[in-house]
Chains A and B, each alone.
Chain A
Amino acid sequence: MNNESAFSHLHPLTLMLWFSFILCATVLTTNPAIALLSLFAASLHRALTVGVKPRQVALMAVFMLAVTLLNPLFSHHGVTVLFFLGGLPITREALLFGAFMSVLCAAAVLWCSSLSLCMTSDKVIYLFGRPFPKLAVLLSLTLRLIPLFLSEYKRMMEVRKACGLYDSSSLFGRARSSLTVFSALVTMILEDSVDTADSMRSRGVELKGRTAYSEYRFRRGDLLTAAVTAAALVFVVLSGAGGYLGFSFYPSVTELPLNSAAVASYIFFGAAALVPSITEVSLWRRLNLTACASDIPTAKNTL
């Protein structure tokens, strides 16, 4: 939870546009080049923000291997039969398609982890606030209540323990003691929520024209990201619709399209997919440079 990403400082709208484009393109594509680019960019961003954790890498590798090997067991399309397993044909195409799918799944999972890193709950509430004002109130109230309940639960539990009213002799006793506290918590919560509602009402929550507090601004970085994303979107969608990105595994594997429209799509998609990593790296370089720049005058002053 302590991991921060420079990319997450962009405007929520930009983030939503970018993530929906990348996730949709990743899940929808049938082109291995786009899938590999997506996986590469996703792993790069994860490595830059969370870091490389050997256990997670191993898990991901096992998952990808499992997807690759399981597909030919269930799918018997394809013309190149490698061997027969219990009377069922195992084909080269199904194996390759499994590998392709494993790349897509891994990329999507990694992008989703970046998504939950960047799209924090406050940004979601900001985005939901305009089309769903009531829902936004509900969401932000609930988010406030969760830590409150947890701390109240702990407090009540400590008091019960201090009074010697906590039965820790058996699992059943512990469960019953926790349940007593839970029951008290529910009563307190429900009574309190009516008070909260009254005070919200008296402050005009039911009036029209409520505004929301937000500190997001559409900056230059947002404009750049949005422009790159839009360009990639246009290229990928147009080339995809025109059939320039076509690639199929069944009945036999076709050649990777390398016409000019396809190459342009790869470049733009790659550029868009690399935006978070570039933002990350450029932020650190900028911070580093300004640190150096501020060092120079002090060095001069001392001379």
Chain B
Amino acid sequence: MTKKKLLTELFTVLIVIPLLVGVGSFVFYDRRYMLVSAAIAVVSCLLFFLAFEGREGGTKRLVILSAMTALSVVGRFIFAPIPFFKPVTAIVVICGIHLGCEAGFLCGSLSAFLSNFLFMQGPWTPFQMFIWGMIGFAAGLLSKPLQKSRAFLILFGVLSGVVYSAFMDIWTTVWFDGTFITSRYLAALAAALPVTAIYAVSNVAFLLVLSRPVGEKLERIRKKYGL
């Protein structure tokens, strides 16, 4: 049943997003990139939230998910003095691996949303919510190989850092004046290289340190209370 639900979710995303792109580029001709990308980010988050509302989930799962989310927000807060070196992605990935795709997405997107109350909300919030959510979702999809192979976990950490940075640079490029210019995107990517490197390194470091102990604890809770 969860497989079926997952498929319907993916299907909706695949139908709704192209529709948004089509309508958006037709109606808002000169500002289409900014608007359409913002609309996609918001709508995909809303779709996941709606799916979560419709789910018959126990309160225990809900509270554990909220604990994991709080943990990643606290992590972002504790490491605030070291720029860009944050355990958020690692905790989101662990959450996705052990609690499933949907929990991974929610943990990621809500961490972005809530921690921005401490940092700052801005036009980038929906994009951060989307990309962190998607990283959690992907971790949930790849849960088996990520648990089995350490090398794959490291690769996933590096990739999620690179993808996060590249995606946020799309936002930077488009936000600049509402249009997407490839040369400007490449310039933004190049300028963000050191930050991307820190993201990748911090993801791998936190994943290596946290994934086993936190994963064991989550599995233990699952066994002990029969979730």
Contact = CB atoms under 8 A, between A and B. Distances in A.
Nearest to A112: B122
Interface stretch (A54-62, A134-142, A256-264, A278-286): A134-142
A141 B66 contact: yes
Contact of B181 (A67, A75, A109, A153): A75
Contacts of B71: 149, 186, 189
Contacts of A138: 62, 65-66, 69, 106, 110
A112 B123 contact: yes
Contacts of B35: 27-28
Interface string B32-66: 00110000000000000110110001111011111
Interface stretch (B127-135, B163-171, B217-225): B217-225
A148 B66 CA distance: 13
B181 A74 contact: yes
Interface in A161-212: 179, 183, 186-187, 189-194, 196-198, 200-201, 205-206
Contacts of A74: 181, 183-184
Contacts of A189: 67, 70-71
Interface residues of B, number: 49
The majority secondary structure among interface residues of chain A is: helix
Interface residues on A, range: 35 or more
B73 interface: yes
Contacts of A64: none
B120 A113 contact: yes
A146 B176 contact: no
A269 B193 CA distance: 41
Contact of B28 (A28, A101, A116): A28
B177 A97 contact: yes
A51 B213 CA distance: 47
A142 B70 contact: yes
Interface in A197-234: 197-198, 200-201, 205-206
Contacts of B65: 138
Nearest to A249: B30
Contacts of A190: 64, 67, 217-218, 221
Interface in B179-199: 181, 183-184
A194 B63 contact: yes
Contacts of B67: 145, 189-190, 192-193
Given A28-B28, A190-B67, A134 B62 contact: yes
Interface in B199-227: 209, 213-214, 217-218, 221, 225
Contacts of B69: 138, 142
9 contacts: A27-B35, A74-B184, A101-B178, A112-B121, A132-B50, A133-B53, A137-B62, A141-B66, A194-B64
Given A75-B181, A192-B67, 15 more contacts: A67-B177, A112-B122, A119-B121, A120-B117, A134-B52, A135-B53, A138-B110, A139-B110, A142-B114, A145-B70, A150-B74, A183-B214, A197-B63, A197-B64, A206-B59
